[in-house]
Amino acid sequence: MIETIRVGVIGGRGYVGGELLRLLLLHPYVEISCVTSRKAAGEFVYREHPNLRKLTSLKFEDVNLSRIGDKCDVVFTAVPHGAAMDLVHELYEMGLKVIDLSADFRLKNPEAYKIWYGFEHKYPDLLEKSVYGLPELHRDEIKRAKIVANPGCMACPSILALFPLVKELDVDLFRIVVDCKEGSSAGGVEVSRSSHHPERSNVVRPYKVTGHRHTAEIEQELSAVMGKDVKISMSAHAVDMVRGVLATCHVFLRENSTIEDERVLWRIYRKYFSNEPFIRLVKEKKGIYRLPDPKAVVGTNFCDIGFEYEDRTRRIVALAAVDNLVKGAAGQAIQNMNIMCGIDETTGLMLPGLHPI
Amino acid sequence: MIETIRVGVIGGRGYVGGELLRLLLLHPYVEISCVTSRKAAGEFVYREHPNLRKLTSLKFEDVNLSRIGDKCDVVFTAVPHGAAMDLVHELYEMGLKVIDLSADFRLKNPEAYKIWYGFEHKYPDLLEKSVYGLPELHRDEIKRAKIVANPGCMACPSILALFPLVKELDVDLFRIVVDCKEGSSAGGVEVSRSSHHPERSNVVRPYKVTGHRHTAEIEQELSAVMGKDVKISMSAHAVDMVRGVLATCHVFLRENSTIEDERVLWRIYRKYFSNEPFIRLVKEKKGIYRLPDPKAVVGTNFCDIGFEYEDRTRRIVALAAVDNLVKGAAGQAIQNMNIMCGIDETTGLMLPGLHPI
Amino acid sequence: MIETIRVGVIGGRGYVGGELLRLLLLHPYVEISCVTSRKAAGEFVYREHPNLRKLTSLKFEDVNLSRIGDKCDVVFTAVPHGAAMDLVHELYEMGLKVIDLSADFRLKNPEAYKIWYGFEHKYPDLLEKSVYGLPELHRDEIKRAKIVANPGCMACPSILALFPLVKELDVDLFRIVVDCKEGSSAGGVEVSRSSHHPERSNVVRPYKVTGHRHTAEIEQELSAVMGKDVKISMSAHAVDMVRGVLATCHVFLRENSTIEDERVLWRIYRKYFSNEPFIRLVKEKKGIYRLPDPKAVVGTNFCDIGFEYEDRTRRIVALAAVDNLVKGAAGQAIQNMNIMCGIDETTGLMLPGLHPI
Amino acid sequence: MIETIRVGVIGGRGYVGGELLRLLLLHPYVEISCVTSRKAAGEFVYREHPNLRKLTSLKFEDVNLSRIGDKCDVVFTAVPHGAAMDLVHELYEMGLKVIDLSADFRLKNPEAYKIWYGFEHKYPDLLEKSVYGLPELHRDEIKRAKIVANPGCMACPSILALFPLVKELDVDLFRIVVDCKEGSSAGGVEVSRSSHHPERSNVVRPYKVTGHRHTAEIEQELSAVMGKDVKISMSAHAVDMVRGVLATCHVFLRENSTIEDERVLWRIYRKYFSNEPFIRLVKEKKGIYRLPDPKAVVGTNFCDIGFEYEDRTRRIVALAAVDNLVKGAAGQAIQNMNIMCGIDETTGLMLPGLHPI
């Protein structure tokens, strides 16, 4: 018999926090012991997350770490970058398992935080202890981890689409283009002019076309896979949808390298993903869902991956789609929790999406 | 121990068929014995319903009623109006439980089919035997039913919002306005100029502003509740979303009748709905989800109901929101199946929606 | 030869202000002498209104009424309700023609401001002098007016759809339902949780389902037309589009009154509108644009009007669509300016919309 | 005094045809002599293009080339690829000026039609005589042209963003990535499953991620500019909007080449575009419209161009946005007509877009 996992969510008012709650309520072995929000303390959770009305009578609490220590086995921290660091440190010291959904423990190199995030990391020793929470690459380390750093919502599909190619083919490691398209929920719950509906509707708005912070994670993970430097040329675009990321990855074979045809790519992806429960290879010859589209993964923990090869330009186009709030955040985090707690990785997560949506 | 329910879905390629499959796959006591589609026979189900990829290896079959008779206890018929009649008749004769998602068994009066649907009903005796599948009004009859006629997607929220008012208050029964707004999935899977994305985006397109067929169901059910004639003034509008119906019902008190304040309405709705598992009363004083909005029920079997009273015009505005494919179709149908099969009505259906979406 | 009209726009940063600028730049007889914005003073206009890039080098100025008095013949005030009152008063005293786009001069009865807007009107004498700026009802008065109160964006189509019916038919004046659907630009440029893209997308969100302020204008104008009290039962809904209002008006014939068929309605609408340059009667027997839809008027000064009659319920459904920023605000205001200045009413306004959009 | 230009539109029922009509109706020197459509012959134009209601009483005619020859000086052919060839040939033989909006005359090399379009070109001699209708590259040739081949809607912004870079910098000519995002109107007026609203909403659907036909045009034009081979790695994505294309172009400097900073890019783009009436350089330091976004050009003939430089990857990201139906089709075509007819190139085209939209 499986013991109940007592779970805390710090930062439950945001979209990632809300998605954690939705999924944790569906999880058969989880008891949500506490949900915190400074702004909404005392309020019913369903006032902020109207989808949970009649499904829970939980209320937001103020943050009280010692109470959390008493009541929880696992804590999810869903607070802004920079603000997570101290919380994670304290929870770790109290002996809890922590899954951090901010960027504060994703990068191994403390120097990288100065470059990409503009702050000095206060716990470089914890960076060593934390594990980058992508099960498809780090499953065994996650099993033993006390701190898991949940990947960025655009980093997740990009790494998944790219690492098998980088590993198995002779590609130009300095000319990898990752062109991302993302929905508005990725911007979080706080309002701004750029998220104002009249301004945010019907856009294809380039933002961070250079220097996007998720670049650092992708380069770190691919360089580790390769044992040498990989450079990622990343650009992000806001499009008119609420949930979803599509990463379109353009990869060039090096000059003297060739592949026969797309079957080579099939073999490579199958090698890495045929046993992965949340990776779906999507490459159809007909119909309208021939390649990955975020529309088909909304609400689910799947990452859909597809590809094409263009001989003329010696280019592989690898495409990966996730729901930024699920496989790109809360679902991934629960997958990590399952692994850390030694239960079946898919528990509570094998949910279909909605079609049409 | 609960026995497995062996289920067949006739017409599995459409949106309602796909939604039945999504929900049936989540149902703990259901085995999907067969899914039919003439056009897609032989294809994997996930080719038409990309959300089901990796969740089922079912294939569409051609329709073969005797095989269905052998393999199924319950059959859902999700085929066009007029085409369901014969199928339901045969399945009934074979002793199966049938839940019909077309309009073919919703109206009690065979004459009404000529007026509203333009055809002669071939099985007037079966109309008597079939039950209108709205558990909030007909739960006991559904328990014993062999044929359940699943309500129309706009009729469902309209009736639910209106019947308690009509029953408990002295309202003008000839001046009830039902102004509906609906998403594009209600139009089904077949393409047309009116569903062409460039033409269907950004619309508030009035259609059937008079003479909408669901009027017949609403009038039938409300007249039955009252024991006298009720007239519904219904108009429908297509808006730019995929799933969801909002019914805005404008109800006038008769001239010499009054109500003190909105607490009267609270009492009425609580009287009928406080034990209903899928009705949520939504009436908040703050926040942005103060009243029902289809956005909050997408993917769920909930019907959200709210109201306001305007003394100046002696008008009650009752609002009800459903997902047209769930409480407005497939979810309702499974709720009916649960009742017919004697299991907990909410089995497999107590799913949260997505926020934001 | 027509003299140049020197125009000022107070409150040029908002959406109505921006739309005034777009249309005034296209107007052959207008010179924009000044555009004010407290928040954006000193900035190029195209920084706030990216559509105007390369079309004007105007900059926002701070408000300076005496300079405006020197440089302008006509001033548009596009500031919030309550804030317009003093400005209009001063500009009037300086002898300028003023077109106010707030609600501050729309209601004739000063008491109504307490009831509907919660403030005491400081210039009841000016209310008498101002004219409600709906040319289809008040063209002659507008010609002579010094202050024109531009109608509310939902009031405008509602009044236009209703006044001919109310005037020519024996309708139930206490049971007129106006069910409005509106785009997000009507909420203005200031951000809020309710306009946050993840929350505002895919909605059909009821707001002000009773007590909407535009009710006051509609009742005022229809009561004036009739010479007796008319009561409007209005409800508004936010839908997922940026521009546009559809007013669906449900009107019941009184008990002993009848109409033969829809030709009666054709005759009535033709009587009032066949010479109106900006009213289009839309009632087709085929195609997908059979009745008014805001999609077809986006960017234009047209009000599309259509109707159906349902004998069964003795109900006329009258539908009117406008672009809330054009015929519902800035375009209407320029139409009023043209009339006040004695030039052809359609000058600068006979622009086609975009299809598809 | 400028003589009236008598214009014919062949294929007036489609979206490009409708957009030609919208813009031609606004053109001060144009008389529309005839509009053809086989399917809609005899119908009022406004039945297909509801935005033109009350603005024209034109009707569609069947195609009759000899009548067109009598009545027109210039003809726009807006028919499918392959179908234009014969029409253009005949009109040319009749001595008319032709602007073809299909792909049939865009490629100089007849062999290229076999490779990219799968047909044999019947008039290779006419390919030599026709001019690729991008005024920013071929203005002088267009002046003298009898046949102008209007550029593809994705080719247009891609070439405009890229040619100055390719010409002035030492870039890797074999690693140029063009990642395009496009609205649904680009798919034309004919319905299909992929344009069905429930399936086409909320998508980021990759299509033609390799082998897109517009690649051929872009390579042709850039190779001509350079005098040597350029290879374009193009991928297209359907996003949830009706109008607009964004081309995100990722360009790498060659290994031994450097640029100091972005001012170099400013100088290059200014060199080519500072006198171009329809190119706007968009590169702001603040606000939400810092870089090109199709939203800001909807309805206009502008091409907005912006850029960023990332030293780390030696990558320039050049972005260009157009309305696919205007600068990407009909507006471009009229700009070409103006040039061919010797009138001011901007006549009838200097229209602002809508904000917000």
Looking up tokens 């219904």 gives B234
Q: Per-residue pLDDT tens for C234-262?
A: 999 999 999 999 999 999 999 889 899 99
Q: What radius of gyration do chain D's Cα atoms show?
A: 20
Task: Indicate if the pLDDT at residue D1 is higher than 80.
Answer: no
Alpha carbon of B18: minimum distance to chain D alpha carbons (Å):
13
* Residue B12 contacts residue B21 (beta carbons within 8 Å): yes
Residue A13, chain B, CB below 8 Å: the answer is: no
pLDDT confidence of residue D240: 98
Give the residue on B whose Cα is nearest the Cα of C288: B194
D177 inside 8 A of chain A by CB: yes
pLDDT digit string (tens) for C281-315? Answer: 999 999 999 999 999 999 999 999 999 999 999 99
Interface contact flag, D206 A306, Cβ < 8 Å: yes
Give residue-wise pLDDT tens across range D161-179: 999 999 999 999 999 999 9
pTM of the model: 0.98
Neighbours of chain B (3+ CB pairs under 8 A): A, C, D
Contacts of C275 in chain D (CB under 8 A): none
A197 and C242 within 8 Å at the Cβ level: the answer is yes
Residue-level pLDDT at A2:
81
Substitution target in C196, C203, C205, C243 with the highest count of A β-carbons within 10 Å is C196
How far is the alpha carbon of C277 from chain D, nearest alpha carbon, in Å? 9
What count of CB pairs under 8 Å joins A to D?
159
Q: Is C198 on the interface with B (CB under 8 A)?
A: yes
CA distance linking residue D206 with residue D190, whole number of Å: 20
Task: Examine residue D164 and say whether the peptide bond preceding it is cis (omega within 30 degrees of 0).
Answer: no
CB contact under 8 A, D195 and B193: no
Q: For a pLDDT cut of 70, what percent of chain B falls above it? A: 100
Q: What does the H/E/C string look like for chain D?
A: CCCCEEEEEECCCCHHHHHHHHHHHHCCCEEEEEEECCCCCCCEHHHHCHHHCCCCCCECECCCHHHHHHHCCEEEECCCCCCHHHHHHHHHHCCCEEEECCCCCCCCCHHHHHHHHCCCCCCHHHHHHCEECCHHHHHHHHHHCCEEECCCCCHHHHHHHHHHHHHHCCECCCCEEEEEEECHHHHCCCCCHHHEHHHHCCCEEEECCCCCCHHHHHHHHHHHHHCCCCCEEEEEEEECCCCCEEEEEEEEECCCCCCCCHHHHHHHHHHHHCCCCCEEECCCCCCCCCCCCHHHCCCCCCEEEEEEEEHHHCEEEEEEEECCCCCCCHHHHHHHHHHHCCCCCCCCCCCCCCCCC
Distance from CA of C195 to the nearest CA of A (A): 5
Catalytic entry in A153, A180, A249, A303: A153
Running DSSP on this structure, what letter comes out for residue C146?
S
Name the closest residue on chain B to residue A49, using Cα atoms: B355
The pLDDT, as a whole number, for residue B64 is 96
Locate C45 and state its tokens: 């206009």
Residues C51, D350: C-beta atoms closer than 8 Å:
no
Residue with tokens 């999507």: A282
Instruction: Name residues of chain A where pLDDT drops below 70.
Output: none
Instruction: Give the active site residues of B.
Output: 153
In chain D, the residue whose alpha carbon lies closest to the alpha carbon of A284 is: D207
Strand order across the beta sheet in which C30-36 lies: C60-61, C30-36, C5-10, C74-77, C97-100, C147-149, C131-132
Sign of CA pseudo-dihedral D132, D135, D138, D144: positive
Interchain proximity D293–A209, CB inside 8 Å? no
Per-residue pLDDT, B251: 98
User: Is it the case that residue C336 has pLDDT exceeding 90?
Assistant: yes
Cβ–Cβ contact C353 with D under 8 A: yes
Q: Which residue of A has its CA nearest to B280?
A: A54
- Region D196-202: what's the mean pLDDT? 98
CB–CB contact B191 D189 (8 Å): no
Instruction: Give the pLDDT score at C2.
Output: 81
Mean pLDDT, residues D101-119: 97
Look at C289 and D55 and tell me if their CB atoms are within 8 Å.
Answer: no
- pLDDT of D277 reads 98
Q: What percentage of chain A exceeds 90 in pLDDT?
A: 98
Q: Render pLDDT for B94-110 as a digit per residue (tens, 0 to 9).
A: 999 999 999 999 999 99
Give dist(CA C29, CA C208) in Å, integer: 40
> Which parts of C153-285 are beta strand (E)?
176-182, 204-207, 232-239, 245-252, 279-281
> Which entry of C34, C153, C156, C341 is annotated as an active-site residue?
C153
What does the DSSP assignment read for A272-339? Answer: HHTT-TTEEE---SSSS-SS--GGGTTTS--EEEEEEEETTTTEEEEEEEE-TTIIIIIHHHHHHHHH
The Cα of B326 is separated from the nearest Cα of chain D by a number of Å equal to: 16
Bridging pattern class, strands B303-310 and B315-322? antiparallel
Please report, to the nearest 10 degrees, the dihedral formed by the alpha carbons of residues C141, C142, C148, C152 taken in order: 100
Task: Tell me what pLDDT residue D138 has.
Answer: 98
Q: Is B15 on the interface with A (CB under 8 A)?
A: yes
In tens, the pLDDT along D176-186 reads: 999 999 999 99
Q: C225 exposed, middle or buried (CB, 10 Å; 0-12, 13-18, 19+)?
A: middle
Amino acid (1-letter code) at residue A259: I
Nearest to A308 by CA among D208, D118, D215, B50: D208
Task: Report the alpha-carbon distance of residue D336 to residue C50 in Å, rounded.
Answer: 26
Closest CB to B191 among D183, D187, D192: D192
Residues of A in contact with D308 (CB under 8 A): 209-210
Q: Identify the helix (H) or strand (E) that includes residue C87.
A: helix C84-93
Whether D204 and chain B come into contact, CB under 8 Å, resolves to no
* Strands (E) located in C84-229: 97-100, 131-132, 147-149, 176-182, 204-207
- Of C180, C227, D241, nearest to B237 by C-alpha is C180
| Residue B28 at interface with chain A, using a CB cutoff of 8 Å | no
| Cross-chain Cβ contact D26/C351 below 8 Å | yes
Task: Select the residue of C289, C300, C355 nearest D18 (Cβ to Cβ).
Answer: C355
Is the CB of A50 inside 8 Å of chain C's CB atoms? no
Q: Model confidence over C71-122: pLDDT tens digits? A: 999 999 999 999 999 999 999 999 999 999 999 999 999 999 999 999 999 9
Token digits of residue A301: 């923990």
Q: Which two tokens stand for residue C79?
A: 């500031």
Distance from CA of D154 to the nearest CA of A (A): 14
Partner D contacted by B198 (CB < 8 A):
yes
Give the pLDDT of residue B2: 82
Tell me A6's DSSP state: E
B174, B228 in Cβ contact below 8 A? no
Residue D343: burial class (beta carbons within 10 Å; 0-12, 13-18, 19+): middle
pLDDT at D262 over 90: yes
Tokens 């052809």 label which residue?
C344
How far apart are the C-alpha atoms of A334 and A345, rounded to whole Å? Answer: 9
SS3 category, C34? strand
Cβ–Cβ below 8 Å for D51 and C300: yes
Mean pLDDT of B61-67: 96
pLDDT given at position B231: 98
With H, G, I as helix, E, B as strand and everything else as coil, classify residue C151.
Answer: coil
- Residue D286's contacts (CB-CB under 8 Å, 6 or more residues apart) are none
- Which phi and psi angles does A220 have, rounded to 5°? -60, -50
User: What residues in A contact D321, CB-CB < 8 Å?
Assistant: 204
**Chains near C, with 3+ CB pairs < 8 A?**
A, B, D
Report the Cα B108 to chain-centroid distance in Å.
Answer: 17
- Mean per-residue pLDDT over chain C, rounded: 97
Domains defined for chain A, CATH in brackets: 5-151+327-340 (3.40.50.720), 155-324 (3.30.360.10)
Terminal-residue alpha carbon distance, chain B: 38
| Cβ contacts of C167 within 8 Å, gap of 6 or more | C225, C226
Does C242 contact A196 at a Cβ distance shorter than 8 Å? no
Round the average pLDDT of chain B to a whole number and report it: 97
A50: nearest CA partner in chain B: B296
Q: What is the rounded average pLDDT of the residues D121-144? A: 98
Yes or no, beta carbons of B195 and D198 under 8 Å apart:
yes
